[in-house]
Amino acid sequence: MSCGGPHDTDCGEVLDHLYEFLDNEMAEGDCAKLRQHFDECSPCLEKYGLEQAIKALIKRSCGCDDTPSDLRSKVLARIDNIRAGQRVGEPLLAAEGAGHGDGGLLAAGPVAAAPVD
């Protein structure tokens, strides 16, 4: 991807540092080199504009109230894990529901191991 014209800074180098430039993580001297390159090279300028737009979009969508579905499923999985942990940790509760099958085997362990006094 190149406009074919000669540049002080190589197109590949510009694209390698594009995210650093977008995040303002570059030294001022390097920023100037990239800005100059964008002035001379329209394919890189186009790429830069696109990344900048995506970055703005991500920032905006993170700021809104709508919870990403990915995060939602992670939270739900976490809740399931906690529930499962509680069931194992409380054999007496599980024993009460042993008739349902699920958890019956787990409950059998501690109950059978109880000292017969």
Task: Using CB under 5 A, list all residues that contact Zn ion.
Answer: 11, 41, 44
- 62 residue type, one letter: C
Tell me whether residue 17 or residue 87 sits nearer to Zn ion (CB atom): 17
Angstrom distance (rounded) from CA 38 to CA 99: 71
Query: Could you tell me the smallest distance in angstroms from the CB atom of residue 57 to Zn ion?
Result: 23
Question: Is residue 25 a contact partner of residue 17, using CB atoms and an 8 Å limit?
Answer: no
Query: Could you tell me the smallest distance in angstroms from the CB atom of residue 46 to Zn ion?
Result: 10
Rounded to 5 degrees, what are φ and ψ at 18? -60, -45
Tell me whether residue 18 or residue 44 sits nearer to Zn ion (CB atom): 44
Contacts of 31 (CB under 8 A, 6+ apart): 21
Query: Could you tell me the smallest distance in angstroms from the CB atom of residue 1 to Zn ion?
Result: 7
Query: Could you tell me the smallest distance in angstroms from the CB atom of residue 26 to Zn ion?
Result: 16
User: What 8-state DSSP symbol labels residue 114?
Assistant: S
Rounded to 5 degrees, what are φ and ψ at 107? -70, -30
Tell me whether residue 18 or residue 41 sits nearer to Zn ion (CB atom): 41
